[in-house]
Structure 1
Amino acid sequence: MLAHAGGSSIAFAQAQWSYPAGNGLQAVAHFAHQVTGVSVSERGRIFVNFPRWTEDAPLSVAEVLRDGSLRPYPDAGWNAWRNVRRDELDPASHWVCVQSVVADGRGSLWVVDPAAPGLDGIVRGGPKLVRIDLASDRVAQVIRFGEDVAIPGSYLNDVRFSADGRYAYLTDSGQRGALVVVELASGTARRVLDGHPSTQPEPGVVVRTDGRPLRYPDGRPVLFAADSIALSEDGYLYWKPLTGTRLYRIATGVLVTRGLAGQDVADAVQPYGRVGPTDGFWIGRGTNTLFITAIEDNAVKARDLSQGPNGGLRVVAQDPRLRWPDTFSQGPDGALYVTTSRIQDSAFFRRDAPLALPTQLWKLRPPAAGSAH
């Protein structure tokens, strides 16, 4: 049940803190709606988001409180937009269809809003990257994306930030994949690798779940473009299309010089081996370990990037409850958090699926690099 719009918390989901599961997993929260993004701040605050994909979700961005409730974040007003009342509120100052939330470790939470509810076209004026000051819980900056960045058919997906806090890098998993580079101070943004093979669904790749090809009810295959993204401490941005097996990287120096200047950066793209179909990426702090969500295997896997393009994968956690592991974050104690968005169980693919799909947030402590699992 929803709290009154003026209330400080909302109880449409309940959190269960540190409840032991198996295989090193701990259930952190169970939600009544489909979650995608999670981020844990440097002070241990947990934030999640719920995209308006197959339902008009009553909440878009929330903080998971320790009493088990969800607090609309930064407030109920930003969460007041509804599909059925889309003409009543300004989409530039409300959450329309939020895909990811990322705490930058510098006192801010950033929210990526592609503003494409139901993945059925962009709400004009809605695509944006928003910074919330965690000390005051107030919106501090709104970077609006015009149609030169959030082109028709686009779906801005996830974001990473440079160590100096000057730049952001996003993936676009929509109809024509790309990366987006943003200079945060000015809000200047540029699409790069727009339509490049590294950002498009990989020909011949079939995404499988539960041992079967994942298809829409009309038989169409899943074709998602650039999605997974991670930033290493040595200055490389890693990404890949969800419908794809190949991993790519590029030096961020190329993106902020040539890319923001509108120059072609295709010659700087480096193929970096194969990892299978994936959704979320995370590079552990102080390590060269790339964690991936292995959506076909209900698993979290890891790869040592220092081994080069031919480095192998090791299983960190595999459990049938990790149905479509989606997005990672890392807590201040080093623990990994991962959402399970259960995309294969959603109304996109199953005619009998509930519009409000229950999902989860999990926590695990990865083994040290090189240890057996």
Structure 2
Amino acid sequence: MNWPNLSLSRRQVAIAVCTCLVLIGFHFHSPHGASAKSSTNQLEIVAELTQGAEVGNIAVTADKRIFCSVHSFFGNQNRAIEVLDQRNWQIYPNSDWGKAPDASPPNWSGLNNTLGIQADGRGNIWFLDNPNPAFPTGRLIAWDTRRNELHQVIYLPPPVITENAFLNDFAVDAKHEAIYIADTAGGPDAALIVVDLKTGLARRVLQGSPNTVPEDIDIEIDGRVISLGETPARIGVNPITIDPAYQWVYFGAMNGRSLFRIRTSDLLNQSLDEQQLKQKVQRYGDKPISDGITADSAGNIYITDITANAIGVTNAAGKYQILYQDDQKLSWPDGLAIGPDGYVYGTVNQLHKSPSLNGGNNDAIAPFLIVRFPALAPSSVGR
């Protein structure tokens, strides 16, 4: 037997096998290049919801319960729901709190106009409520999902919010007992709001900075420029999330091509003035015109790519790549959240067809979707 030839054959086989394994791993796990675009059969439909459940943002708890805000742009009175299964949902937390309030005493129950919703990993669901003319203060409302009772209310009065405030989304910092809010504020006054959960005190930061105001670019979907009223929409800081280590907050304008980040330690440092804080903001990478984002432990920021009917990712090198694209399943993907099962969950709501963004006409047709796909790296609930 010719041993030298056999040895060479084994070496060749080993090299070939290793090469195949590397290529397979690259194909399914790399968020870069042509191989990053995953098969759409990995994009699962979790739920198909009826009228009245025009979902906005989403939160998934550690025990895998799914909660969503209901987008007020569609004009119904529901404000938040729990998704029970593939077809069924119920108003959440109850008929008093899960709908728009009928009256406005200082201690009212009910949600005015809620988009932001987050799980904190401790059994609480947080709602971010906007002001209205009868009650000119925002609120953060925490509901204990295990005990089914109100846990905490934090008020956000002027001047923490401005007259044109639109409290859109937020990130919960469970390590530092803080919440970071994206206030689109009509565009030019867009800012972040830092809330101390122990004291309830809040500060408005980075207002009108290049990192929070919108860029002068159109939101064009299906050949139509999306307008708010009679003018093309220009929406400031909206997508916002926090990494699983609670070290970085990621954010950007909806009408913007840049994803930024800032350390939580800098946002919480009250000795920094505005100019010093602006200098702490870093450009993390590219992003599309987007609504929601979430993060994993490898620095991947998942992004709803609303003009492409897609969901993509910006990786740790700052490069953006579409992961999933589907004109039907992803017609305005809105909010994202990490579940306890290694999946990223998202809402799809056809928001560009809502009356507020469609000249007063409601052309959205149920079902409104909850989708999910496997994360590229581990994360944790509360993103």
TM class by smaller structure: 0.7 to 0.9
Report 1:321-336 matches (<5 A): 321=328, 322-336=330-344
* Amino acid corresponding to residue 181 of structure 1 in structure 2: V
Are the equivalent residues in 2 in contact too, given 1:200–1:225 (CA < 8 A)?
yes
Q: CA deviation at 1:213?
A: 2.5
Choose from 197, 200, 208 the match for 1:187: 200
- Structure (1 or 2) with the greater helix fraction: 2
Q: Tell me the equivalent position of 2:18.
A: none
Q: Tell me the equivalent position of 2:353.
A: 345
Q: Tell me the equivalent position of 1:229.
A: 240
- Could you report, residue by residue, the CA deviation over 1:140-192 in whole angstroms, capped at 9, with x for unpaired residues? 10001101122110011111122415111110012220001011011111110
Instruction: Give the number of the structure with larger relative contact order, counting CA–CA contacts within 8 Å between residues 6 or more apart.
Output: 2
Whether 1:79 and 2:98 are equivalent positions in the alignment is yes
Whether 1:177 and 2:190 are equivalent positions in the alignment is yes
How far apart, in 1, do the equivalents of 2:141 and 2:149 lie? Answer: 11
Any idea what SS the aligned residue of 1:95 has?
Answer: coil
Q: Does 23-32 or 230-239 show the bigger shift?
A: 23-32
Whether 1:313 and 2:320 are equivalent positions in the alignment is yes
Any idea what SS the aligned residue of 1:365 has?
Answer: strand
Q: 1:362 to 1:71 in 2, by over 3 A?
A: closer
Q: Which is greater in Rg? A: 2
Which sections of structure 2, spanning at least 5 residues, go unmatched? 1-39, 378-383
Whether 1:63 and 2:82 are equivalent positions in the alignment is yes
Q: 1:362 to 1:222 in 2, by over 3 A?
A: same
Are the equivalent residues in 2 in contact too, given 1:92–1:127 (CA < 8 A)?
no
Q: Tell me the equivalent position of 2:4.
A: none
Q: CA deviation at 1:264?
A: 5.2
Which sections of structure 1, spanning at least 5 residues, go unmatched? 1-20, 117-121
* Amino acid corresponding to residue 77 of structure 1 in structure 2: D
Choose from 162, 165, 185 the match for 1:151: 162
TM-score (norm 2): 0.80
Choose from 40, 43, 64 the match for 2:60: 40
Q: 1:107 to 1:337 in 2, by over 3 A?
A: same
Are the equivalent residues in 2 in contact too, given 1:342–1:359 (CA < 8 A)?
no
How far apart, in 2, do the equivalents of 1:259 and 1:65 lie? Answer: 46
Are the equivalent residues in 1 in contact too, given 2:82–2:92 (CA < 8 A)?
yes
Aligned identity (percent) is 27
How far apart, in 1, do the equivalents of 2:134 and 2:237 lie? Answer: 21
User: What is the Cα-based RMSD across aligned positions, in Å?
Assistant: 2.5
Q: Does 162-171 or 176-185 show the bigger shift?
A: 162-171
Q: CA deviation at 1:359?
A: 5.3
Are the equivalent residues in 1 in contact too, given 2:96–2:109 (CA < 8 A)?
no
Q: Does 321-330 or 341-350 show the bigger shift?
A: 341-350
Report 1:241-252 matches (<5 A): 241-252=253-264
Are the equivalent residues in 1 in contact too, given 2:285–2:319 (CA < 8 A)?
no
* Amino acid corresponding to residue 64 of structure 2 in structure 1: G
* Amino acid corresponding to residue 207 of structure 2 in structure 1: D
How far apart, in 1, do the equivalents of 2:91 and 2:279 lie? Answer: 44
Q: CA deviation at 1:24?
A: 2.5
* Amino acid corresponding to residue 37 of structure 1 in structure 2: N
Are the equivalent residues in 2 in contact too, given 1:300–1:317 (CA < 8 A)?
yes
* Amino acid corresponding to residue 362 of structure 2 in structure 1: P
Q: CA deviation at 1:259?
A: 7.1
How far apart, in 2, do the equivalents of 1:279 and 1:259 lie? Answer: 32
* Amino acid corresponding to residue 163 of structure 2 in structure 1: P
Are the equivalent residues in 2 in contact too, given 1:162–1:168 (CA < 8 A)?
yes
- Could you report, residue by residue, the CA deviation over 1:21-73 in whole angstroms, capped at 9, with x for unpaired residues? 85623241323133211111000011111133341x23211211238432322
Any idea what SS the aligned residue of 2:266 has?
Answer: helix
Are the equivalent residues in 1 in contact too, given 2:143–2:150 (CA < 8 A)?
yes
Number of residues of Structure 1 aligned to a counterpart in Structure 2: 333
* Amino acid corresponding to residue 66 of structure 1 in structure 2: D
Are the equivalent residues in 2 in contact too, given 1:23–1:319 (CA < 8 A)?
no
Are the equivalent residues in 1 in contact too, given 2:184–2:190 (CA < 8 A)?
yes
Are the equivalent residues in 1 in contact too, given 2:286–2:314 (CA < 8 A)?
no
How far apart, in 2, do the equivalents of 1:158 and 1:148 lie? Answer: 19
Q: 1:238 to 1:367 in 2, by over 3 A?
A: closer
Q: 1:362 to 1:52 in 2, by over 3 A?
A: closer
Q: Which runs of 4+ in 1 moved over 4 A?
A: 89-92, 259-264
